[in-house]
Chain A
Amino acid sequence: MTDEGRPPEDIRYLVPAALLHDLRTPLSHMLGYSEMLLDQAIEVGNADLERDLRKIRAAGWKLLALMDANFQPSRAVLVSDPESGAPKPDTRS
């Protein structure tokens, strides 16, 4: 990872689609439940809880944006070249 939290250029676009799907599913749960609780906190006027839930929701959407900005779904799998150590895509289906 670079200092900005972005992966080095050579592993972009090589994250398998299945992995992205698996990462998005629990993130969906966290975002969905936090937003549902946020609605409830607003309804009952609990400002402290509302403030904290907004932080959780914002962090979740930020994580999603980072995933989408840094990884392009691909069927390719990153493996290391045993000779050079350089990453290369694995063409296994």
Chain B
Amino acid sequence: MARILLVEDNEMNRDMLSRRLERKGYHVIIACDGEAGVAMAEEERPDLVLMDMSLPILDGWEATRRLKANAATRHIPVIALTAHAMSGDRDKALEAGCNDYDTKPIDLPRLLGKIEALLGPATAPKDSSGAPAS
């Protein structure tokens, strides 16, 4: 089962997105700020990180830079998530080292497609019906 680290400070976003991903068959671990996210990525070595950008203590851009600067974590794909929908946000996230970018509100099928593209189809979980999660 693929493990996803969700780094998100907003409690409702954490609850909602983690439950939706778990329903699709992913194992979700959670960090509530950028610093904790970096520490948890180093410790847990998840298969993928969903990184909110507007985080306390250490924002998502800097947290991603640290993950990509660390040989132990730089291979972990990072998808930036932000409620900002400005065109420059995507470039800013990619420049920080994010592998992909998506906006809130989450379009779950679109996000699942990006997750699967980064993890590879072989790691995509099946949902309760046995169909691919996306």
- A36:B23 contact, CB within 8 angstroms: yes
Interface check A17, CB cutoff 8 A:
yes
- B86:A35 contact, CB within 8 angstroms: no
Interface check B84, CB cutoff 8 A:
yes
Q: Mark B83-106, 1 if CB is under 8 A from A, else 0.
A: 111100000000000000000111
The interface size of chain A toward B, counting residues with CB under 8 Å, comes to 20
A27–B16 Cα distance when bound, in Å, is 13
- A24:B83 contact, CB within 8 angstroms: yes
A33–B10 Cα distance when bound, in Å, is 14
Which residues of chain A in 34-48 are interfacial with respect to chain B, using CB atoms and an 8 Å cutoff? 35-36, 39, 43
Interface check A31, CB cutoff 8 A:
yes
- B85:A73 contact, CB within 8 angstroms: yes
A21–B52 Cα distance when bound, in Å, is 13
With A17-B86, A29-B13, A32-B16 known as contacts, the answer to whether A24 contacts B54 (CB < 8 A) is no
Main secondary structure of the interface of A (DSSP, over half): helix
- A29:B85 contact, CB within 8 angstroms: no
- B16:A73 contact, CB within 8 angstroms: no
- A64:B86 contact, CB within 8 angstroms: no
Interface check A28, CB cutoff 8 A:
yes
Interface pairs A-B: 9 shortest CB-CB: A28-B105, A32-B16, A24-B83, A28-B104, A31-B105, A29-B12, A21-B83, A73-B86, A25-B83
Q: Mark A49-76, 1 if CB is under 8 A from B, else 0.
A: 0000000000011001000100001000
With A39-B23, A43-B128 known as contacts, the answer to whether A24 contacts B104 (CB < 8 A) is yes
A24–B107 Cα distance when bound, in Å, is 13
Residues of chain A whose beta carbon lies under 8 Å from any beta carbon of chain B? 17, 20-21, 24-25, 27-29, 31-33, 35-36, 39, 43, 60-61, 64, 68, 73
List, sorted by A's number, 26 A–B pairs whose CB atoms are closer than 8 Å. Answer: A17-B84, A17-B86, A20-B84, A21-B83, A21-B84, A24-B85, A24-B105, A25-B10, A27-B105, A28-B13, A28-B83, A28-B104, A28-B105, A29-B13, A31-B105, A31-B106, A32-B13, A32-B16, A32-B20, A36-B16, A36-B19, A36-B20, A39-B23, A61-B105, A64-B105, A68-B85
